[in-house]
Amino acid sequence: MALYSEKVMDHFRNPRNVGVIEDADGVGEVGNAKCGDIMKIYLKIKDDKIDDVKFETFGCGSAIASSSMATELIKGQPVSEALKLTNQAVTEALDGLPAHKLHCSVLAEEAIKAAMKDYYDRHGIAYDESQFPAAHDCEHCGV
């Protein structure tokens, strides 16, 4: 199908880092089943680095590919770098997404950030709130 780039199809067909981390240091879940996509990110953090990351996604091809790519981009990175992940970086790494699928990359960024915030909260680490803007409201169902 020409809907997606080869990169997107590769990450969709062979998603990297699928699964669960039972003793995760941080877990983030964004999206809504009503809207058709939910992403859940599990982080294991060691020495201020993303030691391991796993994801589970309910959603379309680009949602699964965006989750997979986002986990690849932060794996092994220092926490400070992982926090800088943007949806544009995910989209570019996937060689682009169709315009109506860009929200999938936004969800991926938000899922990673939600997991990081959860890590800080669980471990009593102080952080700058402005790093974690509230996840955008779903324009569609108002959730």
CB 48 within 8 A of CB 141: no
From the list 37, 109, 110, 118, which residue makes contact with other proteins (rule: CB under 8 A)? Answer: 37
**Sheet containing 26-32, strands listed edge to edge, beginning at the edge strand earlier in sequence:** 26-32, 37-46, 49-58
Q: What is the CA radius of gyration of the chain?
A: 14
Neighbours of 30 (CB within 10 A): 22
> Which window, 6-14, 71-79, 85-93, 129-137, contacts other proteins (CB under 8 A)?
6-14
Token pair 């790494």: residue: 93
**Nearer residue to other proteins within complex by CB, 99 or 125:** 99
**Nearer residue to other proteins within complex by CB, 9 or 93:** 9
**Nearer residue to other proteins within complex by CB, 70 or 79:** 70
Q: Please give the structure tokens belonging to residue 129.
A: 């709130």
> Which window, 36-44, 86-94, 116-124, 128-136, contacts other proteins (CB under 8 A)?
36-44
Token pair 């950030």: residue: 113
Q: Verify binding: residue 85, other proteins, rule CB under 8 A.
A: no
From the list 40, 52, 105, 110, which residue makes contact with other proteins (rule: CB under 8 A)? Answer: 40
Q: Hey, which residues between 45 and 84 contact other proteins (CB under 8 A)?
A: 55-61, 63-64
From the list 35, 83, 89, 102, which residue makes contact with other proteins (rule: CB under 8 A)? Answer: 35
Token pair 């201020």: residue: 48
The yes-or-no answer on residue 35 being catalytic is: yes
- What are the start-end ranges of the E strands in 18-134? 26-32, 37-46, 49-58
Residue positions annotated with a catalytic role: 35, 104
